[in-house]
C-alpha cells in the first residue's frame, strides 16, 4: 500500500525542480495584467482542438501555469534553472515564497539564477552561498570553451516541525562543453561530500545537467553517481582546501532509482523542446541524494509541461520527489 505523506515516519519533504526556459521574449506586462487577461470561460470539449499550440510563449503568459503547478503540488522546496531576475521575482510574488540564489553573470542580478525557493511554513533557511562551476569558483567566471557562465546555489535548511537539517544544491551545467560539465560535477561532488561530512546531514543535488545517463554526454552523470573518477588535482586548489573532507566513498544516488518502482510516476524524458518533436526528448534533469543512508526516497514523478488545451509552460518538464529524512 502506498501511504500519503502524513503517514510516513520522519520528516518528509517534497522537492520540485524545473528548468523554466529563460525569458526569451521579454515584455512589460505585469503579473496583475496577465491575471486580468485570463479567459474565465471554461472551454467546450467538443470545440477544443487538443495539443494544437506547440509554439513557445512569453514568460508573461507561462508564469501563471508554473505558479499553479508548484502550489498545487504543495512543495517544500522549488528549484529553478534559467530563471532571469524578472522570472524569480515574479515567482516570489506569485508563490509567496522567499528564494536564495544570484544572477550567474555578476553574482547579483545579471544572468540566470539557480534559485531555490522554500516554503517558510515548513522549512527554515540556516545558510546559503553560491559558487561557480569553473576554474575560479569563488567569483563570477566562465570555464574556457563553455557557452555560458555556470553557477551553483547551496542551501542549508531545517524542517520546522521536526528540526531535521539537510542541504540542497541546485546547479545547471553547460549545454556546449563536456569538459565544463565534468569539472562542474566534480566541484559539486567535492562540496557535497564536505557538507555531508561536516554537518552529518542528507545532501540533495538537483538541476539541469545537460548530461544523459549514457553516451557521449554522460560524463557529468557518471561522475556524480560514482561511475567515473575525476582527478581532484584538476580542481581549484583553494576550493579543495576550503572544503577539505575525507569522504572518499561519497557519491550521489539517482532518486528515480532510489524510489521503489511501484512509487514512480509520470514521464521519463525531462527535456522536450518545443514543437512536440519526440526525437529531441531526453532525460537530462535530475534529482540526487547522498549515499549516506539517512534519507529514503518514497515517491518520484516527472510531470507535464504541456496540457491538452494549453501551451508549453517550458521546454523542460518538472521533476518532483518526496523524501523522508531519517
pLDDT of 247 > 90? The answer is: no
Q: What proportion of the chain, given as a percentage, has pLDDT over 70?
A: 97
Instruction: Report d(CA 44, CA 57) in Å as an integer.
Output: 23
116-135 confidence digits (pLDDT tens): 999 999 999 999 999 999 99
Q: pLDDT-based confidence at 9, cuts 50/70/90?
A: low
What pLDDT is recorded for position 3? Answer: 34
What pLDDT is recorded for position 130? Answer: 99
Q: pLDDT-based confidence at 10, cuts 50/70/90?
A: confident
In this structure, the number of other CB atoms found within 10 A of the CB of residue 145 comes to 11
CATH for 5-325 is 3.60.10.10
Given a contact cutoff of 8 angstroms between Cβ atoms, the answer to whether 312 and 274 are in contact is: yes
Q: pLDDT-based confidence at 33, cuts 50/70/90?
A: very high
The CA-to-CA distance between both ends of the chain, in Å, stands at 21
Cβ contacts of residue 272 below 8 Å, gap of 6+?
280, 281, 305, 306, 312, 315, 316, 317
Given a contact cutoff of 8 angstroms between Cβ atoms, the answer to whether 111 and 147 are in contact is: no
Domain ranges of the chain: 5-325
Instruction: Report d(CA 263, CA 241) in Å as an integer.
Output: 41
pLDDT of 25 > 60? The answer is: yes
In this structure, the number of other CB atoms found within 10 A of the CB of residue 95 comes to 17
Q: What proportion of the chain, given as a percentage, has pLDDT over 90?
A: 95
What pLDDT is recorded for position 2? Answer: 35
| Residue (of 82, 286, 325) closest to 199 by Cα position | 325
pLDDT of 293 > 70? The answer is: yes
Instruction: Report d(CA 320, CA 17) in Å as an integer.
Output: 7
Q: Which cell numbers in the block locate residue 4?
A: 500519503
Amino acid at each position: 500500500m502506498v501511504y500519503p505523506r502524513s503517514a510516513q515516519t520522519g520528516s518528509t519533504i517534497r522537492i520540485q525542480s524545473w528548468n523554466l526556459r529563460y525569458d526569451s521574449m521579454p515584455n512589460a506586462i505585469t503579473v496583475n495584467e496577465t491575471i486580468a487577461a485570463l479567459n474565465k470561460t471554461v472551454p467546450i470539449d467538443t470545440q477544443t482542438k487538443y495539443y494544437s499550440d506547440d509554439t513557445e510563449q512569453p514568460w508573461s503568459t507561462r508564469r501563471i501555469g508554473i505558479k499553479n503547478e508548484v502550489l498545487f503540488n504543495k512543495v517544500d522546496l522549488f528549484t529553478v534553472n534559467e530563471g532571469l531576475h524578472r522570472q524569480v521575482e515574479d515567482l516570489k510574488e506569485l508563490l509567496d515564497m522567499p528564494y536564495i540564489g544570484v544572477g550567474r553573470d555578476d553574482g547579483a542580478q545579471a544572468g540566470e539564477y539557480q534559485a531555490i525557493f522554500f516554503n517558510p511554513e515548513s522549512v527554515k533557511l540556516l545558510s546559503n552561498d553560491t559558487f561557480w562551476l569553473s576554474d575560479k569558483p569563488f567569483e563570477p567566471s566562465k570555464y574556457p570553451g563553455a557557452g555560458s557562465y555556470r553557477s551553483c546555489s547551496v542551501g542549508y535548511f531545517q524542517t520546522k516541525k521536526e528540526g531535521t537539517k539537510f542541504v540542497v544544491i541546485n546547479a545547471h551545467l553547460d549545454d556546449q562543453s563536456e569538459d565544463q560539465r565534468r569539472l562542474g560535477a566534480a566541484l559539486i561532488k567535492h562540496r557535497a561530500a564536505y557538507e555531508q561530512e561536516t554537518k552529518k546531514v542528507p545532501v540533495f543535488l538537483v538541476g539541469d545537467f545537460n548530461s544523459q545517463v549514457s553516451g557521449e554526454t554522460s560524463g557529468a552523470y557518471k561522475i556524480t553517481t560514482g561511475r567515473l573518477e575525476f582527478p581532484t588535482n584538476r580542481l581549484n586548489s583553494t576550493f579543495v582546501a576550503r572544503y577539505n573532507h575525507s569522504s572518499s566513498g561519497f557519491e550521489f544516488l539517482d532518486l528515480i532509482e532510489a524510489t521503489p518502482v511501484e512509487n514512480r510516476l509520470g514521464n521519463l524524458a525531462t527535456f522536450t523542446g518545443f514543437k512536440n518533436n519526440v526525437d529531441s526528448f531526453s532525460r537530462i534533469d535530475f534529482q540526487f541524494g547522498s549515499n549516506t543512508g539517512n534519507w529514503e526516497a518514497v515517491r518520484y514523478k516527472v510531470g507535464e509541461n504541456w496540457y491538452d488545451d494549453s501551451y508549453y509552460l517550458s521546454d523542460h518538464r518538472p521533476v518532483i520527489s518526496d523524501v523522508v529524512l531519517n
